[in-house]
């Protein structure tokens, strides 16, 4: 009964490889079926080249495996907490891609320096606070989800489809596992552009608010006109 979900999640995970975002077996994508109350996620530590759709692990929102023969990703508690905290999302992706991870390790948000970024989000890409020693030792992956949700107390996760976890790396989300993987690629490219821009000009200033607003709203606003629109 979960074959379609597992196939979608398998294909979404392969996007991370296609996009060059993963190192060895690092990284994972999940997708939730909110009607059934389950999510599927990549198994822990399994080589992408050997992985099959049947290897995807299906769990309920209490973290109990309901379908699958392998252990789920070690980041599963983070995914579950985000699904519970952000009801509008249906897919989550995580990897240790070079540039986005570098910003996370620097504990620095990704500044909005040009018009590419507001096509993705309406401002700087947020970074969380560092987890405390107690948070790491007690329930690290669950608390990673909590610290992301805490950072989004005043932000809309639909408008900002990604976050950097301080000292760790990026998480992205979307309406499906595939969209989450695509958003992770967008995030990596944005991070790379920001890094190179500051190398060229360390004093490069953030984009003017009016131009940022224009680029975000033409694609995501109530009167958006980017693309072909929905078919009638």
Tens of pLDDT, residue by residue over 72-107, are: 999 999 999 999 999 999 999 999 999 999 999 999
Q: What is the distance between the alpha carbons of residues 38 and 41, in angstroms, rounded to a whole number?
A: 10
Lowest mean pLDDT among 5-9, 16-20, 216-220, 225-229: 225-229
Quick one: pLDDT at residue 229? 67
Residue 225 domain flag: no
Instruction: State yes or no: is 119 an active-site residue.
Output: yes
Quick one: pLDDT at residue 227? 72
pLDDT above 80 (res 228): no
pLDDT above 90 (res 175): yes
Tens of pLDDT, residue by residue over 131-156, are: 999 999 999 999 999 999 999 999 99
Number of domains forming the structure of the chain? 1
Residue 227 domain flag: no
Q: Name the residue range of residue 112's domain.
A: 3-220
Distance of CA 55 to CAs 13, 39, 44, 120, 209, Å?
A: 12, 14, 10, 32, 46
Residue 89 domain flag: yes
Instruction: State yes or no: is 156 an active-site residue.
Output: no
Q: What is the distance between the alpha carbons of residues 217 and 182, in angstroms, rounded to a whole number?
A: 20
Tens of pLDDT, residue by residue over 30-80, are: 999 999 999 999 999 999 999 999 999 999 999 999 999 999 999 999 999
Residue 137 domain flag: yes
> Once rounded to an integer, what is the mean pLDDT over residues 185-201?
98
Q: What is the distance between the alpha carbons of residues 26 and 44, in angstroms, rounded to a whole number?
A: 9
Contact 141, 76 (CB under 8 A): yes
Contact 95, 168 (CB under 8 A): no
Residue 231 domain flag: no
pTM above 0.75, yes or no: yes
List the CATH number of the domain containing 142. Answer: 3.40.225.10
Residue 170 domain flag: yes
Quick one: pLDDT at residue 224? 80
Q: Which of 4, 139, 156, 226 is catalytic?
A: 226
Q: Which of 67, 98, 119, 140 is catalytic?
A: 119
Quick one: pLDDT at residue 225? 82
């Amino acid at each position: 009964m979960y074959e379609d979900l597992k196939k979608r999640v398998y294909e979404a995970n392969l996007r991370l490889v296609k996009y060059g975002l993963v190192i060895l077996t690092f990284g994972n994508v999940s997708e939730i079926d909110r009607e059934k109350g389950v999510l599927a996620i990549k198994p822990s530590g399994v080589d992408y080249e050997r992985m099959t759709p049947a290897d995807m692990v299906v769990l309920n929102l209490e973290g109990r495996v309901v379908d699958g023969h392998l252990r789920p990703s070690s980041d599963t508690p983070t995914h579950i907490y985000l699904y519970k905290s952000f009801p509008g999302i249906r897919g989550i992706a995580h990897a240790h891609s070079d540039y986005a991870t570098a910003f996370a390790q620097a504990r620095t948000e990704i500044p909005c320096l040009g018009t590419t970024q507001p096509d993705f989000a309406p401002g700087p890409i947020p970074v969380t606070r560092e987890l405390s020693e107690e948070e790491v030792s007690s329930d690290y992956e669950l608390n990673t989800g909590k610290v992301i949700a805490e950072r989004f107390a005043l932000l809309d996760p639909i408008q900002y489809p990604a976050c950097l976890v301080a000292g760790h790396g990026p998480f992205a989300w979307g309406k499906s596992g595939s969209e989450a993987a695509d958003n992770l690629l967008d995030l990596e490219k944005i991070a790379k552009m920001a890094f190179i821009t500051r190398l060229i000009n360390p004093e490069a200033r953030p984009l003017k608010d009016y131009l940022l607003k224009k680029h975000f709203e033409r694609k995501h606003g109530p009167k958006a006109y980017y693309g072909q629109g929905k078919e009638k």
